[in-house]
Structure 1
Protein backbone atom coordinates (compact mmCIF):
# COMPACT_ATOMS: atom_id res chain seq x y z
CA UNK A 1 0.00 0.00 0.00
CA UNK A 2 1.22 3.50 -0.76
CA UNK A 3 1.98 5.65 2.27
CA UNK A 4 1.25 9.13 0.93
CA UNK A 5 -0.46 11.13 -1.78
CA UNK A 6 1.07 14.45 -2.78
CA UNK A 7 -1.17 16.89 -4.59
CA UNK A 8 -0.62 19.88 -6.79
CA UNK A 9 -3.10 22.68 -6.03
CA UNK A 10 -4.31 24.46 -9.15
CA UNK A 11 -6.34 22.14 -11.37
CA UNK A 12 -6.27 19.31 -8.84
CA UNK A 13 -7.69 20.65 -5.56
CA UNK A 14 -9.37 23.73 -7.00
CA UNK A 15 -9.14 25.70 -10.23
CA UNK A 16 -7.59 29.14 -9.92
CA UNK A 17 -6.35 29.25 -13.52
CA UNK A 18 -9.07 31.73 -14.46
CA UNK A 19 -7.96 34.09 -11.68
CA UNK A 20 -4.34 33.82 -12.80
CA UNK A 21 -5.38 34.59 -16.36
CA UNK A 22 -7.34 37.69 -15.39
CA UNK A 23 -4.43 38.98 -13.28
CA UNK A 24 -1.77 38.28 -15.92
CA UNK A 25 -4.00 39.73 -18.64
CA UNK A 26 -4.37 42.97 -16.69
CA UNK A 27 -0.60 43.24 -16.30
CA UNK A 28 -0.14 42.35 -19.97
CA UNK A 29 -2.42 45.19 -21.02
CA UNK A 30 -0.27 47.59 -19.01
CA UNK A 31 2.81 46.30 -20.86
CA UNK A 32 1.14 46.27 -24.27
CA UNK A 33 1.19 42.47 -24.44
CA UNK A 34 -1.97 40.59 -25.39
CA UNK A 35 -2.41 37.26 -23.63
CA UNK A 36 -4.63 34.41 -24.74
CA UNK A 37 -6.21 31.63 -22.71
CA UNK A 38 -4.22 29.05 -24.70
CA UNK A 39 -0.97 30.77 -23.70
CA UNK A 40 -2.17 30.84 -20.10
CA UNK A 41 -2.37 27.03 -20.25
CA UNK A 42 1.40 27.00 -20.80
CA UNK A 43 1.89 28.76 -17.47
CA UNK A 44 0.35 25.92 -15.45
CA UNK A 45 2.75 24.77 -12.75
CA UNK A 46 5.22 27.56 -13.59
CA UNK A 47 6.35 29.94 -10.85
CA UNK A 48 5.57 33.66 -10.92
CA UNK A 49 8.91 35.03 -12.12
CA UNK A 50 9.28 32.41 -14.85
CA UNK A 51 5.70 33.12 -15.97
CA UNK A 52 6.54 36.81 -16.22
CA UNK A 53 9.68 36.02 -18.21
CA UNK A 54 7.65 34.01 -20.72
CA UNK A 55 5.09 36.80 -21.02
CA UNK A 56 7.78 39.42 -21.64
CA UNK A 57 9.36 37.12 -24.23
CA UNK A 58 6.17 37.32 -26.30
CA UNK A 59 7.19 40.87 -27.27
CA UNK A 60 10.95 40.49 -26.80
CA UNK A 61 10.82 42.64 -23.67
CA UNK A 62 12.86 40.35 -21.42
CA UNK A 63 15.87 42.69 -21.44
CA UNK A 64 13.80 45.85 -21.04
CA UNK A 65 13.41 45.33 -17.30
CA UNK A 66 15.92 44.80 -14.50
CA UNK A 67 15.45 41.95 -12.04
CA UNK A 68 14.19 44.46 -9.50
CA UNK A 69 11.63 45.84 -11.96
CA UNK A 70 10.50 42.31 -12.83
CA UNK A 71 10.01 41.59 -9.14
CA UNK A 72 7.82 44.70 -8.85
CA UNK A 73 5.73 43.61 -11.85
CA UNK A 74 5.34 40.09 -10.45
CA UNK A 75 4.24 41.51 -7.10
CA UNK A 76 1.74 43.78 -8.84
CA UNK A 77 0.22 40.79 -10.60
CA UNK A 78 0.11 38.80 -7.38
CA UNK A 79 -1.54 41.60 -5.42
CA UNK A 80 -4.37 41.71 -7.94
CA UNK A 81 -4.59 37.90 -7.99
CA UNK A 82 -4.87 37.83 -4.20
CA UNK A 83 -7.84 40.20 -4.32
CA UNK A 84 -9.52 37.90 -6.85
CA UNK A 85 -9.10 34.69 -4.85
CA UNK A 86 -10.75 36.21 -1.79
CA UNK A 87 -14.00 35.00 -3.33
CA UNK A 88 -12.94 31.32 -3.19
CA UNK A 89 -15.06 29.16 -0.86
CA UNK A 90 -15.29 25.42 -0.04
CA UNK A 91 -17.81 25.22 -2.89
CA UNK A 92 -14.87 25.73 -5.26
CA UNK A 93 -13.31 22.37 -4.43
CA UNK A 94 -13.09 20.27 -7.58
CA UNK A 95 -15.47 17.27 -7.78
CA UNK A 96 -14.51 14.27 -5.65
CA UNK A 97 -11.60 15.93 -3.84
CA UNK A 98 -13.36 16.36 -0.50
CA UNK A 99 -14.30 12.66 -0.37
CA UNK A 100 -10.82 11.59 -1.50
CA UNK A 101 -9.11 13.59 1.25
CA UNK A 102 -11.47 12.15 3.86
CA UNK A 103 -10.85 8.59 2.65
CA UNK A 104 -7.09 9.09 2.70
CA UNK A 105 -7.25 10.27 6.31
CA UNK A 106 -9.58 7.41 7.24
CA UNK A 107 -7.05 4.93 5.85
CA UNK A 108 -4.07 6.62 7.54
CA UNK A 109 -2.49 7.77 4.27
CA UNK A 110 -0.36 10.89 4.63
CA UNK A 111 -1.30 13.90 2.50
CA UNK A 112 1.07 16.55 1.16
CA UNK A 113 0.87 19.63 -1.05
CA UNK A 114 3.50 20.42 -3.69
CA UNK A 115 2.41 23.67 -5.30
CA UNK A 116 4.52 26.39 -6.88
CA UNK A 117 2.03 28.93 -5.54
CA UNK A 118 3.20 31.00 -2.58
CA UNK A 119 -0.51 31.69 -1.98
CA UNK A 120 -1.28 28.00 -1.37
CA UNK A 121 -1.77 28.27 2.43
CA UNK A 122 -4.24 31.13 1.98
CA UNK A 123 -6.16 29.24 -0.72
CA UNK A 124 -6.36 26.12 1.46
CA UNK A 125 -7.73 28.27 4.26
CA UNK A 126 -10.36 29.71 1.91
CA UNK A 127 -11.30 26.15 0.94
CA UNK A 128 -11.48 25.00 4.56
CA UNK A 129 -8.64 22.51 4.04
CA UNK A 130 -5.91 23.88 6.30
CA UNK A 131 -6.04 20.78 8.52
CA UNK A 132 -6.45 18.30 5.66
CA UNK A 133 -2.74 18.28 4.78
CA UNK A 134 0.06 16.77 6.83
CA UNK A 135 2.66 18.92 5.09
CA UNK A 136 2.87 21.82 2.66
CA UNK A 137 6.11 22.51 0.83
CA UNK A 138 7.09 26.18 0.96
CA UNK A 139 8.18 27.04 -2.62
CA UNK A 140 10.37 29.84 -1.25
CA UNK A 141 12.69 27.17 0.17
CA UNK A 142 13.31 25.54 -3.21
CA UNK A 143 16.21 26.19 -5.55
CA UNK A 144 14.41 24.90 -8.65
CA UNK A 145 10.82 24.86 -9.90
CA UNK A 146 8.91 22.19 -11.79
CA UNK A 147 9.71 20.20 -13.91
CA UNK A 148 12.59 19.67 -11.48
CA UNK A 149 11.50 17.01 -8.94
CA UNK A 150 12.79 18.96 -5.92
CA UNK A 151 9.36 20.00 -4.63
CA UNK A 152 8.02 16.42 -4.66
CA UNK A 153 11.19 14.99 -3.14
CA UNK A 154 11.00 17.59 -0.37
CA UNK A 155 7.34 16.76 0.30
CA UNK A 156 8.32 13.13 0.78
CA UNK A 157 11.17 14.12 3.10
CA UNK A 158 8.79 16.21 5.19
CA UNK A 159 6.41 13.25 5.41
CA UNK A 160 9.32 10.94 6.39
CA UNK A 161 8.77 8.56 3.47
CA UNK A 162 10.66 7.67 0.30
CA UNK A 163 9.31 8.88 -3.08
CA UNK A 164 8.75 5.29 -4.21
CA UNK A 165 6.13 4.98 -1.46
CA UNK A 166 4.04 7.89 -2.74
CA UNK A 167 1.60 8.89 -5.46
CA UNK A 168 1.81 12.35 -7.01
CA UNK A 169 -1.19 14.03 -8.65
CA UNK A 170 -0.79 16.82 -11.22
CA UNK A 171 -2.69 18.54 -14.03
CA UNK A 172 0.33 19.99 -15.87
CA UNK A 173 2.97 18.37 -18.06
CA UNK A 174 5.81 19.94 -16.08
CA UNK A 175 4.32 18.61 -12.85
CA UNK A 176 3.97 15.07 -14.20
CA UNK A 177 7.58 15.19 -15.35
CA UNK A 178 8.63 16.29 -11.85
CA UNK A 179 6.72 13.39 -10.27
CA UNK A 180 8.28 10.88 -12.65
CA UNK A 181 11.78 12.20 -12.03
CA UNK A 182 11.15 11.95 -8.29
CA UNK A 183 10.52 8.20 -8.79
CA UNK A 184 6.89 8.39 -7.68
CA UNK A 185 3.80 6.94 -9.29
CA UNK A 186 2.37 9.77 -11.40
CA UNK A 187 -1.33 10.48 -11.83
CA UNK A 188 -2.50 13.13 -14.26
CA UNK A 189 -5.83 14.93 -14.25
CA UNK A 190 -6.95 16.39 -17.56
CA UNK A 191 -6.14 15.82 -21.22
CA UNK A 192 -4.68 12.36 -21.82
CA UNK A 193 -2.52 13.50 -24.74
CA UNK A 194 -1.01 16.43 -22.85
CA UNK A 195 -0.37 14.25 -19.80
CA UNK A 196 0.74 11.15 -21.71
CA UNK A 197 3.92 10.91 -19.61
CA UNK A 198 1.82 10.12 -16.51
CA UNK A 199 1.48 6.52 -15.35
CA UNK A 200 -2.30 6.99 -15.25
CA UNK A 201 -4.59 9.81 -16.38
CA UNK A 202 -8.08 10.69 -15.18
CA UNK A 203 -10.15 13.04 -17.30
CA UNK A 204 -11.72 14.57 -14.20
CA UNK A 205 -11.15 14.64 -10.45
CA UNK A 206 -14.64 13.18 -10.07
CA UNK A 207 -13.13 9.80 -11.01
CA UNK A 208 -10.20 10.21 -8.64
CA UNK A 209 -11.18 7.99 -5.71
CA UNK A 210 -9.27 6.15 -3.01
CA UNK A 211 -10.37 2.85 -4.57
CA UNK A 212 -8.97 3.91 -7.94
CA UNK A 213 -5.66 4.91 -6.39
CA UNK A 214 -5.42 1.52 -4.66
CA UNK A 215 -6.19 -0.18 -7.96
CA UNK A 216 -3.48 1.60 -9.95
CA UNK A 217 -0.99 1.06 -7.13
CA UNK A 218 -1.69 -2.67 -7.26
CA UNK A 219 -1.31 -2.63 -11.04
CA UNK A 220 2.03 -0.86 -10.67
CA UNK A 221 3.27 -3.47 -8.20
CA UNK A 222 2.04 -6.30 -10.42
CA UNK A 223 3.85 -4.87 -13.43
CA UNK A 224 7.01 -4.35 -11.37
CA UNK A 225 6.94 -7.88 -9.99
CA UNK A 226 6.29 -9.31 -13.45
CA UNK A 227 9.24 -7.38 -14.86
CA UNK A 228 11.48 -8.60 -12.04
CA UNK A 229 10.42 -12.19 -12.66
CA UNK A 230 11.92 -11.93 -16.15
CA UNK A 231 15.15 -10.34 -14.99
CA UNK A 232 16.09 -12.77 -12.24
Structure 2
Protein backbone atom coordinates (compact mmCIF):
# COMPACT_ATOMS: atom_id res chain seq x y z
CA UNK A 1 0.00 0.00 0.00
CA UNK A 2 1.44 3.35 -1.05
CA UNK A 3 1.28 6.03 1.64
CA UNK A 4 3.75 8.65 0.33
CA UNK A 5 4.70 10.00 -3.10
CA UNK A 6 7.88 12.08 -3.32
CA UNK A 7 8.14 14.42 -6.31
CA UNK A 8 11.15 16.06 -7.85
CA UNK A 9 10.39 19.58 -9.09
CA UNK A 10 12.10 20.57 -12.32
CA UNK A 11 11.01 18.39 -15.22
CA UNK A 12 8.31 16.71 -13.12
CA UNK A 13 5.98 19.44 -11.85
CA UNK A 14 7.24 22.34 -13.95
CA UNK A 15 10.20 23.24 -16.16
CA UNK A 16 12.93 25.55 -14.93
CA UNK A 17 15.84 23.83 -16.69
CA UNK A 18 16.00 26.46 -19.46
CA UNK A 19 16.40 29.21 -16.87
CA UNK A 20 18.88 27.15 -14.85
CA UNK A 21 21.20 26.53 -17.76
CA UNK A 22 20.81 30.04 -19.18
CA UNK A 23 21.97 31.42 -15.82
CA UNK A 24 24.92 29.01 -15.75
CA UNK A 25 25.93 29.96 -19.28
CA UNK A 26 25.82 33.67 -18.50
CA UNK A 27 27.78 33.49 -15.26
CA UNK A 28 30.47 31.27 -16.83
CA UNK A 29 30.72 33.55 -19.86
CA UNK A 30 31.06 36.59 -17.58
CA UNK A 31 33.62 34.88 -15.35
CA UNK A 32 35.82 33.02 -17.85
CA UNK A 33 34.71 34.27 -21.30
CA UNK A 34 33.98 30.64 -22.17
CA UNK A 35 30.78 29.24 -23.70
CA UNK A 36 29.48 26.08 -22.02
CA UNK A 37 28.67 23.32 -24.49
CA UNK A 38 24.94 22.55 -24.54
CA UNK A 39 25.70 18.86 -24.01
CA UNK A 40 26.69 19.65 -20.41
CA UNK A 41 23.12 20.60 -19.50
CA UNK A 42 22.04 16.99 -19.00
CA UNK A 43 24.79 16.53 -16.40
CA UNK A 44 23.37 19.38 -14.30
CA UNK A 45 19.87 17.93 -13.98
CA UNK A 46 18.73 16.56 -10.65
CA UNK A 47 21.85 17.50 -8.70
CA UNK A 48 22.67 20.32 -6.29
CA UNK A 49 23.86 23.76 -7.34
CA UNK A 50 27.45 23.09 -6.27
CA UNK A 51 27.47 19.67 -7.95
CA UNK A 52 26.21 21.32 -11.14
CA UNK A 53 28.98 23.90 -10.93
CA UNK A 54 31.64 21.23 -10.39
CA UNK A 55 30.51 19.41 -13.53
CA UNK A 56 30.45 22.62 -15.54
CA UNK A 57 33.91 23.66 -14.34
CA UNK A 58 35.30 20.24 -15.17
CA UNK A 59 33.87 20.52 -18.69
CA UNK A 60 35.78 23.77 -19.28
CA UNK A 61 38.98 22.79 -17.46
CA UNK A 62 38.48 25.16 -14.52
CA UNK A 63 37.74 22.66 -11.75
CA UNK A 64 40.82 23.67 -9.70
CA UNK A 65 39.74 27.25 -8.95
CA UNK A 66 39.54 28.12 -5.21
CA UNK A 67 36.45 27.12 -3.25
CA UNK A 68 35.69 30.75 -2.39
CA UNK A 69 35.44 31.51 -6.11
CA UNK A 70 33.20 28.51 -6.68
CA UNK A 71 30.86 29.70 -3.93
CA UNK A 72 30.79 33.22 -5.38
CA UNK A 73 30.00 31.92 -8.87
CA UNK A 74 27.24 29.66 -7.52
CA UNK A 75 25.68 32.53 -5.58
CA UNK A 76 25.82 34.83 -8.61
CA UNK A 77 24.17 32.15 -10.75
CA UNK A 78 21.41 31.70 -8.17
CA UNK A 79 20.68 35.43 -8.10
CA UNK A 80 20.35 35.43 -11.90
CA UNK A 81 18.12 32.35 -11.80
CA UNK A 82 15.79 33.81 -9.16
CA UNK A 83 15.28 36.91 -11.29
CA UNK A 84 14.43 34.71 -14.27
CA UNK A 85 11.74 32.70 -12.47
CA UNK A 86 9.99 35.57 -10.69
CA UNK A 87 7.44 35.57 -13.50
CA UNK A 88 6.38 31.97 -12.74
CA UNK A 89 2.72 31.33 -11.87
CA UNK A 90 0.11 28.57 -12.08
CA UNK A 91 0.30 28.59 -15.88
CA UNK A 92 3.82 27.14 -15.61
CA UNK A 93 2.56 24.02 -13.85
CA UNK A 94 2.60 20.89 -16.01
CA UNK A 95 -0.73 19.50 -17.17
CA UNK A 96 -2.00 16.79 -14.85
CA UNK A 97 -0.27 17.88 -11.65
CA UNK A 98 -3.36 19.29 -9.93
CA UNK A 99 -5.46 16.27 -10.91
CA UNK A 100 -2.83 13.83 -9.59
CA UNK A 101 -2.39 15.76 -6.36
CA UNK A 102 -6.17 15.82 -5.83
CA UNK A 103 -6.35 12.06 -6.42
CA UNK A 104 -3.58 11.42 -3.89
CA UNK A 105 -5.28 13.68 -1.35
CA UNK A 106 -8.56 11.81 -1.78
CA UNK A 107 -6.76 8.51 -1.13
CA UNK A 108 -5.03 9.88 1.95
CA UNK A 109 -1.58 9.55 0.37
CA UNK A 110 0.97 12.11 1.54
CA UNK A 111 2.75 14.36 -0.98
CA UNK A 112 6.37 15.41 -0.46
CA UNK A 113 8.70 17.61 -2.48
CA UNK A 114 12.14 16.04 -2.85
CA UNK A 115 14.00 18.60 -4.93
CA UNK A 116 17.72 19.33 -4.87
CA UNK A 117 16.86 23.01 -5.32
CA UNK A 118 16.89 25.31 -2.31
CA UNK A 119 14.46 27.49 -4.28
CA UNK A 120 11.86 24.71 -4.26
CA UNK A 121 9.53 26.20 -1.61
CA UNK A 122 9.33 29.56 -3.38
CA UNK A 123 8.74 27.94 -6.76
CA UNK A 124 5.85 25.77 -5.56
CA UNK A 125 4.32 28.84 -3.92
CA UNK A 126 4.48 30.66 -7.26
CA UNK A 127 2.91 27.62 -8.95
CA UNK A 128 0.02 27.66 -6.48
CA UNK A 129 0.55 24.14 -5.10
CA UNK A 130 2.39 24.90 -1.85
CA UNK A 131 -0.65 24.11 0.33
CA UNK A 132 -1.17 20.75 -1.39
CA UNK A 133 2.32 19.56 -0.45
CA UNK A 134 2.51 17.93 2.98
CA UNK A 135 6.29 17.96 3.44
CA UNK A 136 9.24 19.66 1.75
CA UNK A 137 12.66 18.09 2.18
CA UNK A 138 15.42 20.58 2.98
CA UNK A 139 18.21 19.78 0.50
CA UNK A 140 20.76 21.69 2.57
CA UNK A 141 20.43 19.06 5.31
CA UNK A 142 20.89 16.07 3.01
CA UNK A 143 23.48 14.76 0.60
CA UNK A 144 22.57 15.43 -3.00
CA UNK A 145 21.31 12.90 -5.52
CA UNK A 146 22.20 10.19 -6.53
CA UNK A 147 22.56 9.62 -2.78
CA UNK A 148 19.19 8.47 -1.38
CA UNK A 149 19.13 10.95 1.51
CA UNK A 150 16.43 13.31 0.17
CA UNK A 151 14.00 10.42 -0.35
CA UNK A 152 14.89 8.77 2.95
CA UNK A 153 14.31 12.09 4.72
CA UNK A 154 10.71 12.20 3.49
CA UNK A 155 10.15 8.52 4.32
CA UNK A 156 11.57 8.91 7.81
CA UNK A 157 9.51 12.05 8.44
CA UNK A 158 6.41 9.87 8.27
CA UNK A 159 8.06 6.78 9.80
CA UNK A 160 7.22 4.68 6.75
CA UNK A 161 8.74 1.66 5.07
CA UNK A 162 10.46 2.14 1.72
CA UNK A 163 7.91 -0.11 0.02
CA UNK A 164 5.18 2.32 1.12
CA UNK A 165 6.78 5.13 -0.92
CA UNK A 166 7.14 6.03 -4.59
CA UNK A 167 9.51 8.65 -6.00
CA UNK A 168 8.93 10.60 -9.22
CA UNK A 169 11.96 11.86 -11.16
CA UNK A 170 13.06 13.01 -14.61
CA UNK A 171 16.85 12.74 -14.13
CA UNK A 172 19.00 9.63 -13.84
CA UNK A 173 20.61 10.88 -10.63
CA UNK A 174 17.14 11.06 -9.12
CA UNK A 175 16.10 7.61 -10.34
CA UNK A 176 19.29 6.19 -8.86
CA UNK A 177 18.55 7.95 -5.56
CA UNK A 178 15.03 6.49 -5.41
CA UNK A 179 16.30 3.00 -6.18
CA UNK A 180 19.01 3.32 -3.53
CA UNK A 181 16.31 4.27 -1.03
CA UNK A 182 14.56 0.97 -1.78
CA UNK A 183 11.46 2.65 -3.22
CA UNK A 184 9.54 2.18 -6.45
CA UNK A 185 10.51 4.77 -9.06
CA UNK A 186 8.53 6.64 -11.70
CA UNK A 187 10.58 8.04 -14.56
CA UNK A 188 9.29 11.04 -16.52
CA UNK A 189 10.97 10.50 -19.87
CA UNK A 190 9.83 13.33 -22.16
CA UNK A 191 13.09 15.29 -21.91
CA UNK A 192 15.50 12.64 -20.64
CA UNK A 193 16.80 9.17 -21.49
CA UNK A 194 16.37 7.18 -18.27
CA UNK A 195 17.17 3.66 -17.15
CA UNK A 196 16.27 1.32 -14.27
CA UNK A 197 12.91 2.83 -13.28
CA UNK A 198 9.85 0.78 -12.30
CA UNK A 199 7.28 2.83 -14.21
CA UNK A 200 7.94 5.13 -17.16
CA UNK A 201 5.72 7.86 -18.57
CA UNK A 202 6.32 10.66 -21.05
CA UNK A 203 4.67 13.27 -18.82
CA UNK A 204 3.08 13.45 -15.40
CA UNK A 205 -0.39 13.61 -16.98
CA UNK A 206 0.23 10.12 -18.40
CA UNK A 207 0.72 8.43 -15.02
CA UNK A 208 -1.58 5.46 -14.42
CA UNK A 209 -3.28 6.10 -11.07
CA UNK A 210 -3.70 2.36 -10.47
CA UNK A 211 -0.03 2.09 -9.44
CA UNK A 212 -0.94 3.93 -6.25
Counterparts in 2 of 1:1-232, with a 5 A limit? 1-30=1-30, 31-63=32-64, 65-142=65-142, 144-191=143-190, 194-208=193-207, 212-214=208-210, 216=211
Uncovered stretches (5+) of structure 1, i.e. residues with no partner: 218-232
Uncovered stretches (5+) of structure 2, i.e. residues with no partner: none
Residue 37 (structure 1) shift: 3.3
Question: In 1, distance between residues paired with 2:170 and 2:121?
Answer: 19
Aligned length: 211
Question: In 2, distance between residues paired with 1:118 and 1:85?
Answer: 14
Structure number with the higher helix fraction is 1
Secondary structure, counterpart of 1:42 in structure 2:
helix
Residue 192 (structure 1) shift: 9.6
Secondary structure, counterpart of 1:13 in structure 2:
coil
Asked if 1 retains the 8 angstrom alpha-carbon contact of 2:170 and 2:192, the reply is no
Distance 1:112-1:27 versus aligned 2 partners, 3 A rule:
same
**Corresponding residue number in structure 2 for 1:226:** none
Asked if 1 retains the 8 angstrom alpha-carbon contact of 2:15 and 2:92, the reply is yes
Asked if 1 retains the 8 angstrom alpha-carbon contact of 2:40 and 2:59, the reply is no
CA RMSD of aligned residues (A): 1.5
Residue 56 (structure 1) shift: 1.1
Asked if 1 retains the 8 angstrom alpha-carbon contact of 2:36 and 2:60, the reply is no
Question: In 1, distance between residues paired with 2:90 and 2:190?
Answer: 25
- What is the TM-score normalised by the length of structure 1? 0.87
- What is the TM-score normalised by the length of structure 2? 0.95
Residue 127 (structure 1) shift: 0.5
Kindly name which structure, 1 or 2, has the bigger radius of gyration based on alpha carbons: 1
Secondary structure, counterpart of 1:62 in structure 2:
coil
